[in-house]
Amino acid sequence: MDYLTPLLIIALSAVFLTSAIAKLLDFEASKKSAAEFGVPVFVAGAAMSILIVLEFSIALLLLFGSTNRAAALAATFLLFVFLIATARLVILGKSPDCRCFGQLSDEPVGKSSLVRNAVLLIMAGVLFVFYREFSFVEGTEDVKTMILTLSGFGLSALLITSMLIAFELRSKFGAVDERLQKIEKYSTLLQMHVEGADPGNSLPVGTLVPDLTITSLSGEAVGIRELTREGLPVLLIFVGPDCIPCEKLAVDFPAWAESLSGKVRLIVLSSGDAEVNIDKFGEQNRELLYLQNGESVSAALKTKWSPAAVVVGTNSRVASGPVAGDTAIARLVDEIEKMESLPDILFVGEELDTMSDRFGTEVPDFELPRLEGGVFAKSDLEGMTTMVVFWSLTCQFCTEMLDEMLSWHVHPENLNLVILADGDETKLRETGIGAYIVVDREYKVGGTMGMFGTPSAVIIDDSVTVVSETVQGGPQIGLLSGGAFEIGAGHEHR
């Protein structure tokens, strides 16, 4: 017992000193905590001020032989009050932030708070009951010793204060760093938007998706088109291991996969390491997660944002415009869940404004003169997939894309090309693309396919049915072709 008294005095003095300084440095939060403990709001500030003074006093008086037993009694009473107040909140099922040690203890009140107060109460009680006279000051007449003791107490207070301030600064800098990381990620998205990589700049509806390979987390490679040959459309949700909204969205993936079963197959496409993605999105999503090589699929489908979603139909063609963001994706899934079966195309986002009302309809019979002689009829479109381009010599945007059209290499087995045009036939022949031109006077046939402005284009399948949206402008026409006309993709230009 010779060492018990000084050890208890040191421990309790340090606890009360730390508690007082921490409350003082975080006074507003401590005052709020007092109100949550049941102290009337209008006196919470005064009550917290009194408590801080009491804790400072107990910490100091514990060091003097003439006062340390009285201080131990005061500590026992105060800790008993803390224990009763904490137990009351636990019984009532309330869990406000404790703030017993300022920011050092901002966890909710609970069993750990009860245990801590009980331990401290026992320590104070033992010091009082089994008290043996002890003083860090040999006598109050020893001024030098008293000064040294008070100086040590002051230095301890300064050290504790410095540690608490450092802790608070570290917490704040940590929060600032986290915010900066979020700003950096969202600024990247903003930069992508500025550069034109927005969700709307994806492959047009009806475009044949590139036959790229993705890999399951078990290492099994599968082609995107192969997935659609299983008889169900595929809902591709693009996520990333560094995407903040994606993690929130991942909670719903298993439920979505179950609710969409038999209607559409859900594929969650990410990048990077398999284990990193499991850590991010959870073991429950292992069977749904696939990995792309870098951003190969995202780049090919022009879905550079995450999270984003696109539906691919059973014909391996893009069946929906893109949706970006967790809220929009959840809304898309909700709409699909309400459908008895998935249509050939989903009207989502803004493509309602660009979608041809001819989509899904068969092209009426027609006969038109070829620029190079002969007749071009509906029957010439049967048995192959064709991109029909609506083009004009008097359209500035059409003439601006002429050089690109001259570089196209057309392979009819992949994608045939027909250009509907009107105007001076001599000038049309001089363009160098006359072999593909069918003369559509007043653009009557183009209108039956849903094209009313130049340049525009649609895809016609082997049953002479419109299977794409109507795209406008050279860049979108290039995307609609799916790269089928790139150099080396087929025969030399005829």
d(CA 467, CA 319): 9
Beta strand segments in 129-252, E: 213-216, 221-223, 234-238
**Residue 94 CA, distance from chain mean position:** 33
Whether the CB-CB separation of 213 and 222 falls below 8 Å is answered with: yes
Whether the CB-CB separation of 66 and 128 falls below 8 Å is answered with: no
pLDDT at res. 106: 60
d(CA 457, CA 449): 9
Instruction: Give residue 345's identity as a one-letter amino acid code.
Output: I
Mean pLDDT of the chain: 78
Instruction: Give residue 153's identity as a one-letter amino acid code.
Output: F
Q: How far is CA 97 from CA 53, 116, 208, in A?
A: 22, 15, 57
- The angle formed by the CA atoms of residues 104, 107 and 109, to the nearest 5 degrees, is 120
DSSP 470: P
d(CA 460, CA 486): 19
pLDDT at res. 344: 60
What are the structural domains, with CATH classification, of the chain?
A: 4-168 (no CATH), 213-353 (3.40.30.10), 367-480 (3.40.30.10)
pLDDT at res. 268: 92
b/e string for 326-350 if b means 16 or more Cβ within 10 A?
bebbbebbeebeeeeebebbbebbe
Q: Is the dihedral of CA 470, 475, 480, 485 positive or negative?
A: positive
Instruction: Give residue 337's identity as a one-letter amino acid code.
Output: E
Is pTM, for the whole model, over 0.85?
no
d(CA 5, CA 132): 7
pLDDT at res. 192: 40
pLDDT at res. 418: 93
Please write down the HEC assignment for all residues of 403-461.
HHHHCCCCCCCCCEEEEEECCCHHHHHHCCCHHHEEECHHHHHHHHCCCCCCCEEEEEC
pLDDT at res. 318: 86
pLDDT at res. 191: 45
d(CA 447, CA 462): 19
Low-confidence stretches of the chain (pLDDT < 70) are: 1-3, 97-99, 101-107, 131-202, 342-357, 483-494
